[in-house]
Amino acid sequence: MLLMVKVYDRTRWNNNPKLEVKIFRRLEDGSKTFGQLLETLGWGTQTLTNYLKNLGDKGCIERKKRGRIVFYTLIQSNADVRQMLGWDWLPSADVRIHKRVELDKLNEEQFIASWLNSIKFTFLNIIQIYMLIGKKTKEPDKETKSITTMRNFLEGYVSDLADTITFNGEVMAKEIKLGILNPERIWEARNKLLKQIKNEIMSF
């Protein structure tokens, strides 16, 4: 009896642009160990292993051993890395702003402002992608592949938006528990900001 065995190309399972970008962003500000990436991404061990191998094979990241510890470094000169992080494929559209903030050093008003700003930047990217999708769909000669690529990035940004909201919320809850932030002052900062937003809406 002849058994037919289907062989799967596992590289296709670990080639999602929105997830690749998540790894690139974690490596933008310096090399990271596997453990550090695993902790910040929250993925399964095998998933991260497969993605790192794939990106290494494509020349996007470099694996270096320092003593007994292995570090992963982003290869900034790689064309795919430049495209996905520098947005070379978009017309004058570099609105990504990365600002590393030590949240435990912010007071209540600064924390809320930082949280809102991080959401604003991601939201601007989402607006931009939808604008480009609309523009592409008006041009019938454009390939649908580019629209698919944009939608992949869009999914990544929507996911990042949810991650940003959840991360900052969890940090705020923990800092309240530890006594770093005061809930009454947070409520005051929230109401102050709400008043500003209402005034801006009324001025339209």
Domain ranges of the chain: 10-81, 89-202
73 forms bridges with which residues in the sheet? Answer: 62
Question: What was the pLDDT predicted at 142?
Answer: 54
Highest mean pLDDT among 5-19, 43-57, 189-203: 43-57
Range in 67-76, 92-101, 162-171 with the lowest mean pLDDT = 92-101
Write out pLDDT tens, residues 34-45: 999 988 888 889
Question: What was the pLDDT predicted at 73?
Answer: 93
Q: How many residues does the chain have?
A: 204
> Higher pLDDT residue, 148 or 166?
166
How much is the pTM?
0.47
- Residue 102: how many other CB atoms lie within 10 Å: 6
Q: Is 4 helix (H, G, I), strand (E, B) or coil?
A: coil
Backbone angles phi, psi at 175, to 5 degrees: -70, -30
Fold of 10-81: Arc Repressor Mutant, subunit A (1.10.10)
Question: What was the pLDDT predicted at 119?
Answer: 84
> Higher pLDDT residue, 136 or 183?
183
Residue 15 to residue 32: CA distance in whole angstroms: 20
High-pLDDT (> 90) share of the chain, %: 17
> HSE of 130 in the Cβ direction (CA atoms, 13 Å)?
8
| Structure tokens given for 195 | 């008043």
Q: Is the pLDDT of residue 160 over 90?
A: no
9 band by pLDDT with thresholds 50, 70 and 90: very low
Contacts of 49 (CB under 8 A, 6+ apart): 34
